[in-house]
Amino acid sequence: ETGVTQSPTHLIKTRGQQVTLRCSSQSGHNTVSWYQQALGQGPQFIFQYYREEENGRGNFPPRFSGLQFPNYSSELNVNALELDDSALYLCASSDRVEQYFGPGTRLTVT
Protein backbone atom coordinates (compact mmCIF):
# COMPACT_ATOMS: atom_id res chain seq x y z
CA GLU A 1 0.00 0.00 0.00
CA THR A 2 1.12 3.53 -0.78
CA GLY A 3 -0.28 5.33 2.26
CA VAL A 4 -2.49 7.49 0.04
CA THR A 5 -6.17 7.18 0.91
CA GLN A 6 -9.23 8.43 -0.93
CA SER A 7 -12.86 8.79 0.02
CA PRO A 8 -15.46 7.81 -0.77
CA THR A 9 -14.76 4.57 -2.60
CA HIS A 10 -17.85 4.78 -4.77
CA LEU A 11 -20.30 7.56 -5.45
CA ILE A 12 -23.42 7.94 -7.56
CA LYS A 13 -24.60 11.42 -8.55
CA THR A 14 -27.19 12.90 -10.87
CA ARG A 15 -26.35 15.09 -13.84
CA GLY A 16 -26.13 18.74 -12.80
CA GLN A 17 -25.15 18.01 -9.20
CA GLN A 18 -21.87 18.86 -7.52
CA VAL A 19 -19.40 16.41 -5.97
CA THR A 20 -16.39 16.61 -3.65
CA LEU A 21 -13.76 13.89 -3.56
CA ARG A 22 -11.09 13.70 -0.88
CA CYS A 23 -7.52 12.52 -0.70
CA SER A 24 -5.05 12.09 2.14
CA SER A 25 -1.46 12.29 1.03
CA GLN A 26 1.38 10.12 2.17
CA SER A 27 3.16 11.61 5.15
CA GLY A 28 5.74 14.22 4.17
CA HIS A 29 4.51 14.70 0.61
CA ASN A 30 3.67 18.31 -0.24
CA THR A 31 2.52 17.76 -3.82
CA VAL A 32 -0.73 16.15 -4.89
CA SER A 33 -2.05 15.47 -8.38
CA TRP A 34 -5.50 14.41 -9.57
CA TYR A 35 -6.25 12.22 -12.59
CA GLN A 36 -9.42 11.11 -14.31
CA GLN A 37 -9.50 7.56 -15.68
CA ALA A 38 -12.45 6.78 -17.92
CA LEU A 39 -13.37 3.14 -18.35
CA GLY A 40 -10.86 1.31 -20.52
CA GLN A 41 -8.56 4.31 -20.87
CA GLY A 42 -5.40 5.66 -19.33
CA PRO A 43 -5.50 8.31 -16.62
CA GLN A 44 -5.73 11.95 -17.73
CA PHE A 45 -4.04 14.69 -15.69
CA ILE A 46 -6.51 17.16 -14.17
CA PHE A 47 -4.30 19.38 -12.01
CA GLN A 48 -1.60 19.46 -9.39
CA TYR A 49 -1.23 21.31 -6.09
CA TYR A 50 2.01 22.22 -4.40
CA ARG A 51 1.96 23.80 -0.95
CA GLU A 52 -1.72 24.76 -1.30
CA GLU A 53 -1.35 26.43 -4.72
CA GLU A 54 -2.44 25.06 -8.09
CA ASN A 55 0.75 24.26 -9.93
CA GLY A 56 -0.24 22.93 -13.33
CA ARG A 57 -3.49 22.03 -15.02
CA GLY A 58 -4.55 19.66 -17.78
CA ASN A 59 -7.23 20.13 -20.39
CA PHE A 60 -10.20 20.21 -18.04
CA PRO A 61 -12.86 22.97 -17.75
CA PRO A 62 -13.06 25.35 -14.77
CA ARG A 63 -15.93 23.37 -13.23
CA PHE A 64 -13.15 21.03 -12.08
CA SER A 65 -11.50 22.74 -9.13
CA GLY A 66 -9.43 21.73 -6.16
CA LEU A 67 -8.01 22.60 -2.80
CA GLN A 68 -4.98 21.55 -0.84
CA PHE A 69 -4.93 22.02 2.92
CA PRO A 70 -2.04 22.84 5.30
CA ASN A 71 -1.74 19.16 6.19
CA TYR A 72 -1.39 18.50 2.41
CA SER A 73 -4.67 16.60 2.13
CA SER A 74 -6.67 17.60 -0.91
CA GLU A 75 -10.13 17.88 -2.43
CA LEU A 76 -11.37 17.67 -5.99
CA ASN A 77 -14.63 19.46 -6.67
CA VAL A 78 -16.68 19.02 -9.80
CA ASN A 79 -19.67 21.27 -10.48
CA ALA A 80 -22.54 20.78 -12.92
CA LEU A 81 -21.82 17.09 -13.37
CA GLU A 82 -22.13 15.61 -16.84
CA LEU A 83 -22.57 11.99 -17.85
CA ASP A 84 -19.02 11.95 -19.28
CA ASP A 85 -17.65 12.76 -15.84
CA SER A 86 -18.30 9.14 -14.89
CA ALA A 87 -14.84 7.74 -14.22
CA LEU A 88 -12.32 6.58 -11.65
CA TYR A 89 -10.67 9.61 -10.03
CA LEU A 90 -7.14 8.99 -8.83
CA CYS A 91 -5.14 11.07 -6.45
CA ALA A 92 -1.35 10.83 -6.28
CA SER A 93 1.00 12.32 -3.74
CA SER A 94 4.63 12.74 -4.55
CA ASP A 95 8.04 13.32 -3.14
CA ARG A 96 10.81 14.57 -5.37
CA VAL A 97 11.21 11.21 -7.07
CA GLU A 98 7.93 9.49 -7.82
CA GLN A 99 4.17 9.57 -7.44
CA TYR A 100 2.18 7.29 -5.16
CA PHE A 101 -1.38 6.64 -6.21
CA GLY A 102 -4.40 6.07 -4.05
CA PRO A 103 -7.02 3.41 -4.84
CA GLY A 104 -9.35 5.93 -6.47
CA THR A 105 -12.98 7.01 -6.19
CA ARG A 106 -15.41 5.54 -8.68
CA LEU A 107 -17.90 8.25 -9.70
CA THR A 108 -21.03 7.35 -11.63
CA VAL A 109 -23.19 10.14 -13.04
CA THR A 110 -26.72 9.18 -14.04
Partner 1 sequence: GDSVTQMEGPVTLSEEAFLTINCTYTATGYPSLFWYVQYPGEGLQLLLKATKADDKGSNKGFEATYRKETTSFHLEKGSVQVSDSAVYFCALRPNKAAGNKLTFGGGTRVLVKP
Determine the interface stretch with partner 1 among 14-22, 50-58, 70-78, 79-87 (rule: CB under 8 A).
50-58
In which element (H, E) is residue 66 found? strand 64-68
Backbone angles phi, psi at 55, to 5 degrees: -135, 50
Contacts of 97 (CB under 8 A, 6+ apart): none
Q: Applying CB under 8 A, does 44 fall inside the site for partner 1? A: yes
Q: Applying CB under 8 A, does 2 fall inside the site for partner 1? A: yes
| Cα radius of gyration (the chain) | 13
- Min. distance of Cβ 55 from partner 1 in angstroms? 6
Instruction: Collapse the DSSP code of 110 into the 3-class scheme (helix H, G, I; strand E, B; otherwise coil) and give the result.
Output: coil
C-alpha span between 83 and 32 (Å, rounded): 26
Give the number of residues written for the chain: 110
C-alpha span between 81 and 63 (Å, rounded): 9
Determine the interface stretch with partner 1 among 12-20, 39-47, 61-69, 72-80 (rule: CB under 8 A).
39-47
Within positions 66 to 95, which residues make up the interface with partner 1, using CB under 8 A?
90, 92, 94
Q: Applying CB under 8 A, does 22 fall inside the site for partner 1? A: no
- Min. distance of Cβ 96 from partner 1 in angstroms? 9
Task: Please report, as ranges, the residues that interact with partner 1 according to CB under 8 A.
Answer: 2, 4, 31, 33, 35, 40-45, 48, 50, 55-56, 58, 90, 92, 94, 98-104
